[in-house]
Amino acid sequence: MPDGPTSPLVYKRVLLKVSGEALMGSQNYGIDLEVANRIAGEVAQAVNAGTEMCLVIGGGNIFRGLSGAAKGMDRAAADYMGMLATVMNALAMQSALEQVGIPTRVQSAIPMMSVCEPYIRRKAVRHMEKGRVVIFAAGSGNPFFTTDTAAALRAAEMGCDALFKGTQVDGVYSDDPRVNPNAKRYDHLNYLDILTQDLRVMDASAVTLMRENDIPIVVFNIHEGGGLARVLAGEGVRTVIGNAPSDTV
């Protein structure tokens, strides 16, 4: 594993957004427990360094509402199915985190008391203050909103210093670097760059919410060993999206 950070933490409280697809690993569907355990190790390293953490995990590895709607399902019903998929992913990540000694709570926007807590903002904040990781499941509880928007909403509600988006690549590029080897990677972007250049980092509603609350979005590779801890310390390869000037020119 690469060396850890050498600098103090830049971000004290963060929300980490992880796509459901990130949990698939090399599979075509479902949860790769080895990948879940590896991500849990990254989160544990950050928590042990003193960061207060909360997570939002997508459900695209199990069911994606937009895909279901495209095939003829009612959009609201398809979105609710996607929300239930995020609960499954949240429970899997909770198990992985607790196996490495990190106390974790799952809070669902759709109440299901038998398996997790209902979402209560003040209770979630208190969990983090006590060193527990909180995983927010079931999106915002409303159809027609993605988990990106739910992540932005929870980051604002929790008073987070940043929204971290763990992806398959090490930042934001002008094009897909896995397809175009000449794609340019950006170190800094402005919120408006994302909206006007359609860079597809997060939904427009999520980016707008972060802009209105002046919460930076930090994009990095979730699969790089030790990467989360280094980015939390302001090191490592990442793209920071905020109100500062960008390097798109």
Is 4 a member of any domain? no
Q: What is the mean pLDDT of residues 137-151?
A: 96
Is 229 a member of any domain? yes
Count of domains for the chain? 1
Percent of the chain with pLDDT over 90: 75
Is 68 a member of any domain? yes
pLDDT score at 248: 63
- Measured between alpha carbons, how far is 151 from 155 in angstroms, rounded to an integer? 6
> Residues near 112 by Cβ (< 8 Å), separated by ≥ 6?
87
pLDDT score at 1: 45
Q: What is the mean pLDDT of residues 155-165?
A: 97
Find out whether 16 and 164 touch, Cβ atoms under 8 Å. yes
- Measured between alpha carbons, how far is 117 from 106 in angstroms, rounded to an integer? 6
Find out whether 124 and 56 touch, Cβ atoms under 8 Å. no
Whether the pLDDT of residue 181 is over 60: the answer is yes
- 206-245 pLDDT, tens digit each: 999 999 999 999 999 999 999 999 999 988 899 999 987 7
Is 85 a member of any domain? yes
Dihedral sign, Cα of residue 71, residue 72, residue 73, residue 79: positive
Mean pLDDT taken over the chain: 92
Whether the pLDDT of residue 64 is over 90: the answer is no
Is 157 a member of any domain? yes
Whether the pLDDT of residue 138 is over 90: the answer is yes
Q: Which domain range does residue 102 map to?
A: 13-242
Is 43 a member of any domain? yes
Buried b / exposed e over 25-44, threshold 16 CB at 10 Å, is beeeeebbeebbbebbbbbb
Least confident residue range of 115-124, 125-134, 182-191: 182-191
Q: Which amino acid is at 66?
A: L
- Measured between alpha carbons, how far is 96 from 114 in angstroms, rounded to an integer? 20
Q: What is the mean pLDDT of residues 138-150?
A: 95
Is 173 a member of any domain? yes
Is 5 a member of any domain? no
Find out whether 232 and 9 touch, Cβ atoms under 8 Å. yes
Report the CATH number at residue 23: 3.40.1160.10
- Measured between alpha carbons, how far is 3 from 180 in angstroms, rounded to an integer? 30
Find out whether 38 and 186 touch, Cβ atoms under 8 Å. no
Whether the pLDDT of residue 52 is over 90: the answer is yes
Whether the pLDDT of residue 4 is over 70: the answer is no
> Residues near 119 by Cβ (< 8 Å), separated by ≥ 6?
107, 108, 109, 136, 141
- Measured between alpha carbons, how far is 215 from 152 in angstroms, rounded to an integer? 9
